[in-house]
Amino acid sequence: MDEEELFDQPFWVSIALKLPELQEDPVGAEFLVDRFVGQYLPALLSTRGQQGIDQVWLAFWHYLVAPRSSRKPFGLTSGTADLLIAEFQSTLSRPG
């Protein structure tokens, strides 16, 4: 993946929408992808060392499972958050 593809929000939304819980909430999927691409993905790309990378993923997981609020229009179950992160990690680890 080149940098343009990495930051392509529709690409990440298409991955998120594969999960049943997010299929029912496309606005929430777009919102979480916006946060991922804008905050967590740059942190992952600039972080060195496995411990730092793990901390970024954990922070993202906590964000995903936090309850809905006026500023966050979605909330995922812990299982769905695990699946989403696994999908995102798998995508990032693919060569090319």
Residue 96 has pLDDT above 70, yes or no: no
Per residue in 31-90, pLDDT tens? 999 999 999 999 999 999 999 999 999 999 999 999 999 999 999 999 999 999 999 999
Q: Which pTM does this prediction carry?
A: 0.93
What amino acid occupies position 92?
L
List all residues 6 or more positions away from 64 whose beta carbon is below 8 Å from its beta carbon: 32, 75, 76, 80, 81, 84, 85
For residues 90 and 94, what is the distance between their CA atoms, to the nearest angstrom?
6
Q: Specify the pLDDT at position 2.
A: 77
Q: Specify the pLDDT at position 91.
A: 94
